[in-house]
Every structure is written in C-alpha cells, then in structure tokens.
Structure 1
Amino acid sequence: MSASEVPPPGAPPPPSPPGDAVPSQQESVAELLRVVLGLTESLVFEFDAEGHYLSAWTHSDSLLVMPREAFLGRHISQTMDPQTAALTLESIQRVLARGQPDRFEYSVEVEGGRRWFSADATLVPHRPGVAFMVRDITRQKTLELSLLQADRLAALGTLAAGVAHEVSNPLGYISSNLHFIEEGLAELRRALGEAPGLERLAHTLEECEEALDEARQGTTRIRNVVGDLKTFARGEDTRPGDERADVRRAMEMSINMAMPELRHRARMVWHPEEVPLVRGSESRLGQVFLNLLLNAAQAIPEGAPEKNTVEARLRAEDGKVVVEIRDTGQGIPPENLKRIFEPFFTTRPAGVGTGLGLAICHSIIIAMQGELTVESTVGQGTCFRVLLPTT
C-alpha cells in the first residue's frame, strides 16, 4: 500500500479480500470460551427464572446427558434427575432474590459413567437469567473419598490391633490351662484303667476329653483369627515397591476371617497353586480379598449352604498371578455392573453398605499395577478376577 493509500486516522479498516474470512468478534469470543472450558473441564449454562435453558456452552458433549443443542428451551426437570433439578431451581431463586452467588454439588450419570460436578451460580449484567459455571470435580471427589476411607481404615486398623492384643493375653492362659487339664485327664484315665468296676466313670472321662479337644480346637481357631487381625491391621511398613506379597497367604488369611460370614451361606472351595511373589502390600491384598469374599457371601441368602459355593482359585498365567473369586449368588444386573467400582454406589439399603468397598479394592489393585475385573449373570452368580504382575 502506498502512502496515498493509507487510510486517514479513525477510518474503518479496509475490507478483507474475498476468500480470506475473518471471524467476527462474537465467533472469536465463543471460540475462546470453548478453549477455556476445555482447559478447566467446565460447562456454562444460563437459565431463566423458571428453570428453562437459555444457552449452553461446552468444550464437547462428553460430559452432557444429551447434545448441547437439545438443552435450549427445555426445563431443567426434563434433563436432570428430580433431586438435581430441585437443587438447581432453589439456587436460581436464591441468586435472583439475594443478588449473591450460590454454589452446590451434584452427581449425574453420563456416557462415561457417573461424574461429580460443582455448580457456581451468579447474575450476569445485561443478561436475562442466571448463569452457572459447572466444573467437573470427579477426580477431586474420588481423592477426597479415598482419603476419608484411608482415615477410617487406619482407625479401624488401630482398633483391630488393640482388640487382637487384648484377646491374646487371656487366650494364652486359657490355652495353658486346657493343656494342664488335658494332662490331668490323661493321668486320671491311666489310674481308672487299673481299677475294676469304674467303666461308667471311664466313659464320662472319655466325653470330657472329647469336650476338651473341641475347646482346644476353638482356642487354636481364635489364635489364628487374632493373628490374621494383627496382619490385617499392620498395614504397610515399607516404602512402595520394596515389599513382596505372598498372594496365597493373603488369601488364606482372608478366608479365615470371612468364614463366620460364609459358613451359613455357602461352602468355601479353595484351589491354590504355587505362584511367585508379587510386588505390593500383603495386608492390602488381604483387604481386597476379604472384601471380595464378604461381597460373595452377601450375594447368597442364608439357610442353604449345601446348595451354594464360594470358589477361590489361584494360579500363575502369562507372567501374572491370577486370583478368581466366584459365587453362586444372585448376580449383578447389567445396568449396575458398570458402576460397581464407583465410590458410594451401592444397591444395599441405607445403613447397610457405604458403597466404598469395591472402589477402594479397585484403587489398591490399580496402585499395584494390576487389574480388577468382574463378570456376572443375574440368577447365576458373579466372578471377580484379580491380575497382579510378578515383576
């Protein structure tokens, strides 16, 4: 452009040549907003006072329950569950009444599973409704739940270790006294054998010895359970990666602890094979196996243990240790199967289950660079499979 072609100050810029389209200011702002939303994993919605969508901005539709265009004009109750819709409407009314920002959290089922969100509502100058900045906080929420569960497990571990210690002391002298009685009865039997006409007393003595033997078996059982509790409660005392775990020992410890729950529901079938050690915490593995065994037991109603089984298998395969826990319980419906590893998801009544057990199991196995998968058929049973690397 020559000097004579330079536009005067204040003159509008010359039009762009044909084919060299320049985005409008509105298009540029919209594109910038999409970039920001993508970086922050956020969504922006705008509602009128009654809860109808006026606009929606997203980086992609992956976090939405339906395509973005389908929201416009709809009422919140048509796109969200009743609880979330009610929270949103209450937030809109508070913002309009007070003129102050508002915040609440909610969760919703989307294509990739259940996600947690934090919604910040505010008035926007020169706009007709209330705008919501919605952030995906699923990772933060999962971490919070894991930390909460870790604290609870630490407290439970301390309690279990204390109980185990308190039980060990009286168990020691009970065991010693039983041994003393056993020796005394043996001496008495020898004396009775030398005296004629005391057959009835000898029979009574034999029954006492049988009862004593059962008592000794009970104390041995208690000692084993106490030892398992101590192992379970000890937790990790080495740096990650330094510890080697005996998978068979962890499973057998868990079976011992789960038997009070299992024996009234099913027969326990255990198929162990010799497998190499794996890298990780044996107590953490025991926590996983115990949880899976208890879940298997609770999937089977009480009263017919001869008709049901909980089967555990241990083998080495393709450089990995494989553990399978299979039950003949009621099975898991397909719509629930994809969500069972989500924190707080449970099909049990309120107060019966927290929905954290399987989520914690999954995180423990993933931390050991392993895999935890599940297969289930309604009415036939469920199989959880744990794969752990040996190197």
Structure 2
Amino acid sequence: PDLQVVICTAFSDASWDNIVQRFGPTDRLLILKKPFDLAEVSQLALALTEKWQLARQARTRVTELAQSRADLAASLALARAVQEATADGLLVVGPDRKIVTANRRFLEMWKLPADAIAADHRTYRLRSVLDHVVDPDAVMTRINYLYEHPEETGNDELRLKDGRIIERWTGPVRSDTGHAQARLWWFRDVTVRRRLELDRAVVIERMAAMGRLAAGVGHEINNPLTYALGNIESLLESSAASGTPPPASELVERLQEARDGLARIRVIVRDLQNLARAEETHGEVDVQQVIEQAIQIASAEVRHRAPIVRRYQPVPPIMGCRIRLGQVFLNLIINAAQAIPEGQSASNRIEIAIRDTGTTIVIEVSDTGAGIAPEHLHRIFEPFFTTKEVGAGTGLGLSISRDIVAAHNGTLSARSAPGGGTTMTVALPHAERAPAATPPVVEPAPVSRRARVLVIDDEPLIARILQRGLARHQVVVANQARDALARIQRGETFDVIFCDLMMPDVSGIDVHEYLLREHPKVAERVVFMTGGAFTSKAKSFLATVTNERIDKPFSLSQINKLVDRHLELAR
C-alpha cells in the first residue's frame, strides 16, 4: 500500500478516468507520457521518494502519539485510582480558584454532592465547606492568605461543628520549570487519634495536678482532722477523769464539731476521687457545682494569695463530662493563684463569674496578678509552653484545657496585660434537650416492718457502726464473706445485704457471682459498699452491675433510706 506507481505510456487512448475507475482514487499512482525528459524522471523519482519517506515518518509519529496517549490515559487512570484509594480527602485548585480535581473522599468528608466538582458553583462549594467548621471567618482568612501567597505551604487543624477534627495541609503544585500552577489541599480525619492523645494527656496532667496539690490537700485534711480528734479525745479524757460524761449541751457541741470536721474531710476526699476518677461519663453538668468543687480542691493553693470573689448568675446545665470540665476549671483557678505572689492576699483577688448569653454559658476566671507579656500571650495554649519556674507546671495545662473545651464545642480564650492581671474565658453551649415534664414527687410511706439485714465487711468497726445505725432492724454481721455465704447456704433469708466490694480472700464480686449462679433473687438485694475501686476488674464490675452502690464514707440516714426502699419494693 505504500508503493508509488508511475505508468509510462505512449498511447493517447490511456484515460485517467478509466485508471481511477479500475484502481480507485489514490495518491500513489501517476501517469508519465512518452516522450519524457530524463531530468523530469529523475526529479519525479526524488520527489516520490521524499514523499514516501515523509509518509512513513508521519505514520511512525502517529503510532508513537497513539502509544503516548494510551500511556497517558493509563497513568491518569492509575493516578485517579490511587487518588480514590486513599483515605484522605484531596483537592487541586487552579490559580483562578476553580477546582481542577477532587477525590470521592473529599466529597464525603465535606458532605458535598457527587456533581459538585463538575458544576461551576465555586461560591456554593466554598460556603458548604465553611458551614461545617467551627470558626469559618478564621478559615476563610487563612484560605485567602494562601491564595495571595501561592508559594507558601500550610499545615493546621480544622474543628468541625459535628465534633470531627480534620488535619489540613496545602502546598503549591509546580510545573517542570518550578512555577506554581495549582494548589493541592490535603485533608485527613484525625478525630480518633486526637481523642486518644487527649485522653493520655488529660490523665498525665490530672496526675501532675494531684501531685502539686498533695501537700495542700494534706493541710486541708489535717485541719478538720485535728479538731475532730481533739474534741473526741477531750471527751474521752474528761469522762475518764471525772467518771461521768460531760453535760449534754457540751457533749452535743463537741460531737457536732467533730462531725463537721469529718464531713469536711469527706468532701475533700470525694472531690479528689472525682479528679482522679478514670471513668468519664457524659451527661448534664451543673457548672456552678463543678466550679465549687474545683475551688475546694485548690483552696490550699489559693488561700494565701487572694480571696475568691464569686459572681454567679443562674444558668442552665450544659452537656459534657463533669470530671474533664472540673479539670479545666481547677487548672484555671490554680493558674490564677500562681500568678499572684504569696502573702499579698489583702491587695489581690480572684474573681469567678458565670453568666448566660442566651445560647452559651460564659465562665470567666480573672486575677489581679502579674499578667502575661504580649509576646507570650499568643503562645500560652501551645503544648509544653510555660513561663512558670521549673517544677511549677508541665506546660500542658492550658493546651489540654483548650482541647477539652473544644471537645465540648466551646472556646477558651485569654486576655491579659503586663501588670494588669489575666482573664480566662470559657464559653460552652447550652445543653440541647427537650423539656421534660417534672413528675410529681411522691414521698414513700414510712415502712414500719423490721427488716433482716446482712452486713458483710472485713472492717469490724464499719460493720459495728452499721449495726448501731440500723438498730431498729435485725442486723447480722459477717466479717468474712465465707461466713455470710454459709448462712445463705443454710437457708437464712435477708431483706437487704450490705457487702463491701474490696475484701481479701473472697471479694464482693465473688459473693455476687456466687449469688447470681445459686440464688439469683438474693443477688438482687445486694448493696455494694466501696471506699474506692482500684483494680480494673472492680472498675469494670461497678460499671456494669445493676445493683445499688454507696460510697464510703456514707451517712446513717443513707443506709436507713436504702433499707426502707428495699422493704417498700418487697411489698
């Protein structure tokens, strides 16, 4: 098919139309009529040879271009497959801010329709993305800056309104000459990773805070313990010396003082247990109550530096984790106290204000301390940044506090001036809940029946106080769980069983497992008493068991109400 044919003829009856009709139209067939000049033949041969060579080169080039096109299509298909296979969102935007390409994960991450890339709705797409972020103005400012500086890269995190945390990286896409011809945006959902990191950091900072507070807490416990023990010892000594008890009025006064001191210790221990507690449930949180507990824990740190001024307005509850929010407020109060030198309490103050803006609860912790230098103010939320002396802090407190508040869809900010004190502001959204009708409170009728109560506790003094407090009932005490189980095996029946959780040999968990297996109805009557679940097994057990639980120290009125409730349910 590539052969060039020249027909040489001396006959005039050769017709081109006949030749075309016979061979078809072609550019490779020529007629040369005799006589002809040898120079013409030579030139024709050269021209036809050059034409043949050019045609062959063209065909080769077309073949190469077809192969290049196929290779390019395969490369694009592979690149697209890789782009779609990644778990990250990818977006490429041209210099005119029009989308060049984006993968499916990007659309899913920002909840955009599948045709969002094909359609020319740049404003709509950007608005849809900004609708998801917590601080759209700041995000838009950063986007504009990066487009105005096409050579710059950026790496930050975006917090979304639905609680997700998206890591964002962006940089120029360069041509072979190094010119920035587009911008790549890379998005990765790091929510789970950040939450795990926050969980670890929260525990570390919480333990560090407890360590810093340990000496002060010892002081807070020793003071009420001193006058509680002092009153009891003086009563014992005066009774032993005279042989008769003191007058009733004096006896009541001293016992009330001792009780008040011990009740104060109970509050301190409870607050410390809340701070150290590993299990972190979410629900409605009374902000004022959480702040008051933080003040109580930090009181030894605060007392010698400044009085606390409270400016509380009535506010609705918020949804969140009481323990973690307590850690935030404790950190802010301790920071405020440490900004004020010791021994100048009369001329300083720490003010805590709570107010409701209608959509958010705002908590402000202000101090009259040294303030924060302007060059440090923008860095105070950075991990490990601190201006405190060595040993006074980990540098994680404010960073973790900000993350905790952000996890509650809130914000933590600071304003300060050197010598003018500092104000830390926490803003948290209202709890989103439907108003529930308040059921009428029906006081249970007093139960007059005498209950049969079993107390299982390896501490004889605790068992004895329960026996005294439940004097109107028949109380059986077992200081060993085996003895208690033996009574049940013999057929003895009990309306209520108070069982200590942590006991040697046979624990409260073992007792419950045995009763569930052998006497399931009796297992329902067990009330667990605990001074703290320290093992993972005990923590897991308390988190899953449906039986009632009372924390030590408990009041005798609690115990009696529990017995009455069990009798009422048994009617």
TM-score w.r.t. length of structure 2: 0.38
Structure-2 separation of matches of 1:318 and 1:280: 18
| Structure 2, unaligned runs of 5 or more | 1-25, 28-53, 64-78, 84-88, 93-142, 159-166, 168-185, 432-571
How far off is 1:10 after superposition? Answer: 4.0
**Worse-matched range after superposition: 345-354 or 244-253:** 345-354
Structure-2 separation of matches of 1:143 and 1:192: 61
Structure-2 separation of matches of 1:332 and 1:234: 33
Structure-2 separation of matches of 1:174 and 1:349: 33
Q: Deviations over 1:239-294 (max 9, x none)?
A: x4xx1111111000000111111111111111223221110111111111000000
Q: Which residue of 1 aligns with 2:397?
A: 357
Structure-2 separation of matches of 1:334 and 1:172: 43
Distance 1:290 1:151, change over 3 A: closer
Q: Deviations over 1:75-108 (max 9, x none)?
A: xxxxxxxxxxxxxxxxxxxxxxxxxxxxxxxxx9
| 1:1-391 paired onto structure 2 within 5 Å | 8-11=58-61, 146-152=198-204, 180-181=232-233, 218-238=261-281, 240=282, 243-391=283-431
Distance 1:381 1:177, change over 3 A: closer
Report how many aligned residue pairs link the two structures. Answer: 274
Larger radius of gyration: 2
Structure-2 separation of matches of 1:232 and 1:222: 15
Structure-2 separation of matches of 1:145 and 1:344: 14
Q: Deviations over 1:98-122 (max 9, x none)?
A: xxxxxxxxxx999x9xxx9xxxxxx
Give me the CA root mean square deviation: 5.6
The answer (yes or no) to whether the contact 1:235–1:284 under 8 Å persists in 2 is no
Q: Deviations over 1:31-88 (max 9, x none)?
A: x9xxx9x9599xxxxxxxxxxxxxxxxxx9979xxx7989xxxxxxxxxxxxxxxxxx
Structure-2 separation of matches of 1:311 and 1:218: 27
Structure-1 separation of matches of 2:210 and 2:352: 29
Q: Deviations over 1:140-182 (max 9, x none)?
A: 996675344144257679999xx9xx99x99999888666457
Q: Which residue of 1 aligns with 2:487?
A: none
Distance 1:309 1:214, change over 3 A: farther
Identity %: 36
How far off is 1:321 after superposition? Answer: 1.6
Structure-2 separation of matches of 1:271 and 1:184: 45
How far off is 1:342 after superposition? Answer: 1.7
**Worse-matched range after superposition: 149-158 or 362-371:** 149-158
TM-score w.r.t. length of structure 1: 0.53
Structure-1 separation of matches of 2:316 and 2:226: 38
Larger relative CO (CA 8 A, sep 6+): 1 or 2?
1
Distance 1:302 1:216, change over 3 A: farther
Distance 1:192 1:226, change over 3 A: closer
Q: Which amino acid aligns with 2:305?
A: R
| Structure 1, unaligned runs of 5 or more | 14-31, 42-59, 71-107, 117-134, 195-205
Structure-2 separation of matches of 1:268 and 1:154: 23
Q: Which amino acid aligns with 1:261?
A: E
The answer (yes or no) to whether the contact 2:352–2:364 under 8 Å persists in 1 is yes
The answer (yes or no) to whether the contact 1:145–1:343 under 8 Å persists in 2 is no
Distance 1:61 1:249, change over 3 A: closer
The answer (yes or no) to whether the contact 1:182–1:212 under 8 Å persists in 2 is no
Structure-2 separation of matches of 1:363 and 1:218: 37
